[in-house]
Amino acid sequence: MENQILGLHHITAIAGNAKRNHDFYTKVLGLRLVKKTVNFDDPGTYHFYYGDEVGSAGTILTFFPWEGTAQGRTGTGLATDIGYSVPKGSLDFWADRFTEFKVKQGNKDEKFGELYLPFQDPDGLKINLIESKIEDTRKPWETADVKADVATKGFHSIVLTLKNIKPTAEILTDIFGYKLLEQEGNRYRFITDAVENAAIVDLIESPNEERGYNAGGTNHHVAFRVKNDQVLMEFREKIASKGLNITPKIDRDYFFSLYFREPGGVLFELASENPGFAIDETIENLGSSLRLPKQYESSRAEIEKILPKLV
């Protein structure tokens, strides 16, 4: 198992206002802010990591909140819908909660035999809460308002919308070890048996749909999980051998990464489990203080002045 792709590691999206994003995900959706840091390439912008208690791979949704960013548009060449796993029978709770907080939501529906509730975050990012057919035993993060019997447990799936699914499907099956599980219309469900959760990638083939525009309210990239940075480099060789342009190994402080754009246009990342989010904070204090990449620590005072206030 150790040299396989272990499902999803994290998903990174683009937001606008930082405080609005922080309040929505911690207060309305009830996720834990696991890490508060800055964008490696733009230290005047936060990088928020939301997840479960310890920041487990497969639960982490991250954001670059670029103040004043343009509104993006979902379409081909992007990851278009995030799926969160929730307990069976919890969708009514969430529908009522979204109504209370004036969250844009759709009606409950069903795909692949699973009930789901679609909604959008304040920037328009599309998310589905899904009652998984497979029992999800992951322990969720609880808040005063969102208890374990209704709380999100981590990712269920990610949806990629593409002009043509074939070359992307080949990456999933030939390199990542996924297999085609089932199909409904133009939606093809791929799954890995390497892990029980965060194991699904849905490909939607939409040849006539306009290409997406990557800005506010859209997903920036999808990261797949590997055990460690040694396995990471084994996959680098496999991907490069297919003629795809892939980055060198990058140290992201909490994991090691590789990036490449798959043939359908979606930016993929491979991310290691090591060293994890507790490397610079205790589990109890995760997300409680601003952590900076070492190259920016000497500029902490200036950076703290620039970053938007969250309270």
Q: What is the number of domains present in the chain?
A: 1
Backbone angles phi, psi at 170, to 5 degrees: -65, -35
Give the C-alpha distances (Å, rounded to integers) separating 115 from 97, 103, 125: 17, 19, 20
Integer Cα distance of 81 and 77 in angstroms = 12
* Whether the predicted model's global pTM rises above the 0.75 cut: yes
DSSP annotation of 40: T
Asked if the structure places residue 85 within a domain, the reply is: yes
User: Which pLDDT tens digits describe the chain residue by residue (311 residues)?
Assistant: 578 999 999 999 999 999 999 999 999 999 999 999 999 999 999 999 999 999 999 999 999 999 999 999 999 999 999 999 999 999 999 999 999 999 999 999 999 999 999 999 999 999 999 999 999 999 999 999 999 999 999 999 999 999 999 999 999 999 999 999 999 999 999 999 999 999 999 999 999 999 999 999 999 999 999 999 999 999 999 999 999 999 999 999 999 999 999 999 999 999 999 999 999 999 999 999 999 999 999 999 999 999 999 98
DSSP annotation of 47: E
Asked if the structure places residue 311 within a domain, the reply is: no
Q: Which domain holds residue 145?
A: 7-306
Asked if the structure places residue 2 within a domain, the reply is: no
Asked if the structure places residue 104 within a domain, the reply is: yes
Asked if the structure places residue 224 within a domain, the reply is: yes
Integer Cα distance of 260 and 249 in angstroms = 11
DSSP annotation of 27: I
Asked if the structure places residue 295 within a domain, the reply is: yes
CB contact at 8 A, 121 and 61? no
Domain harbouring 109, CATH code = 3.10.180.10
Asked if the structure places residue 279 within a domain, the reply is: yes
